[in-house]
Structure 1
């Protein structure tokens, strides 16, 4: 009986020792883990810092602000309109109308009671064919409201521009003179200017549906062209 009690006591002591040993081991592992964490933290930080030394920051290209669209001012609009109007009315100084005068009597060069003109090297019936619409009108100029100087410059510049663009047949509206004492002057001056323009082969008063006595149909010879072909 006594031997059994001794064996049981030894077993309890052994269990107690094992428990204590296990607890000490667990405690030691916890302490070691904490220590490893404490010791490794500076190393990790230092390693991170060393790695970051080789990293260059990304350069961001600064974005350029889009230009601000400023609203057009009334002054700017008025200036642009005035500039275009001055150009249209012949107020911009140019050399286009040099050599073309306002004076001179051309009545003896006209035909059809002063309503037509044919250059000497063109066919005699050119003006009549022009009036009948044998050539298609490619552009038109309206002289209403212009002074003589403005109208002269407008006519010569208009003809030159048409020649540059290959337009040989045009209509010039000078007015009939019913509402203004100035327009009959332009009617006569237009004929004077056209006769002096060597590129003009013929002109004729328009048919009534195209302006009648208030407009002229003009036929020009393009550069390098002998006689304009009917179109």
Structure 2
């Protein structure tokens, strides 16, 4: 507790102190004027279209029908390995469903999906593209584009239309290259350097 003398002493010491008229706060309002750097970044954002890093093309696609079989194998893929892929004997580690997507949406999804599969060490994937049986012209549009896109991706080693229980000619098995981790693991397991 403070005594009466201490309180009087305090008030006497504070007698010449005046209240600050402006609030004692920093002015944090952002400057409304645009700097040359702001203007340049704004102009660049409007002028430059975002770069599309997706190499998949849509030019000169051969139209495929609903029951056409997709088949592709890079040189160097062993026949026994390709046969197991074709028969659906590899474990499917990832799936992508393209049903009800536009060609542009599917293009983006396929590119992203394959890259993610490689990143996560997926070796065999299944892509459901549909048969296109409802199309009046009988052309399986997404299937046609997929047949063009998959060989354009370096990570795709082989692909083949799926077995009936996985979607038949409305789906495709995709075999992907090994990632660096898997290659190193095989080297260590088999004693290679």
Same fold (TM over 0.5): yes
Which residue matches 2:147?
191
1:176–1:199 CA distance, 2 compared to 1 (3 A): same
Structure 1 residues 95 and 167: CA distance shift in structure 2, 3 A: farther
Paired position in structure 2 for 1:176: 131
Aligned to 2:91: 136
Structure with higher RCO (Cα < 8 A, 6+ apart): 2
SS of residue in 2 equivalent to 1:126:
helix
1:200 Cα offset (Å): 0.6
Structure 1 segments of 4+ aligned residues over 6 angstroms from their partners: 51-54
Determine which structure has more spread, i.e. the larger CA radius of gyration. 1
Structure 1 spans left out of the alignment, 5+ residues = 1-46, 55-92, 108-112
CA apart distance, 1:198: 1.4
In the superposition, relative to structure 1, how do residues 94 and 150 fare at CA in structure 2: closer, same or farther (>3 Å)? farther
TM-score of the pair, normalised by structure 1: 0.51
1:115-162 deviations in whole A, cap 9, x for unaligned?
A: 321110111233320133332111111111222222122111110111
Cα distance in structure 1, aligned partners of 2:51 and 2:122:
21
Does the aligned pair in 1 maintain the 2:126–2:171 contact within 8 Å?
yes
Cα distance in 2 between the residues matched to 1:141 and 1:198:
18
The CA RMSD over aligned residues, in Å, is 3.1
Structure 2, unaligned runs of 5 or more? 10-49, 187-193
- What residue in structure 2 maps to residue 121 of structure 1? 76
The structure whose residues are more often helix, as a share, is 1
1:106 to partner: Cα distance = 8.1
The structure 1 residue matched to 2:54, chosen from 80, 97, 107, is 97
Aligned partners of 2:82 and 2:102: how far apart in 1? Answer: 28
